Amino acid sequence: MLRGASSCSVLATDPARDSAARRRRRPGHRVLHHVCAALSDNGFRRLRSFRPDGPACFKTWLMAVVSNLCVDWHRQQQGRIRPTPCILHLPELDQQVYQCIYVRRMSRAQCLQELMPGSQS
């Protein structure tokens, strides 16, 4: 764990990696940076909060923590998407179309392929 922790620490704090490569990074790299930085904040407070006698094993617990940090990062970037009440009153298919086009930002052709009966999604 120390090896992984030091890697996260370097990634989260190394200015050379942070400044020059930032423009070239894909979103996956930015979210990885966010997760590593969050895990190493305050002396690895989140990692130290794991309870070995708790209900989850470390791997399961860590996956939940990382998943929540990814959701937090996405919400920081995109905001929390909440459909207006009128969308919630639409038929199910119309809600799915709304989700595809406005939430997932798919093209109309992609949306059609996604929602066609027999599609593999």
Reported as a single tens digit per residue, the pLDDT across 100-116 is 888 888 898 999 998 98
- Tell the residue number behind the tokens 């996260």, with chain if given: 8
Nearest to 83 by CA among 108, 70, 106, 102: 102
Backbone CA torsion sign across 107, 110, 112, 115:
negative
- pTM tops 0.75: no
Residue 57, pLDDT > 90, answer yes
Residue 30, pLDDT > 80, answer yes
Residues 6+ apart with CB under 8 A from 119: 113
Backbone CA torsion sign across 105, 109, 114, 117:
positive
Residue 6, pLDDT > 90, answer no
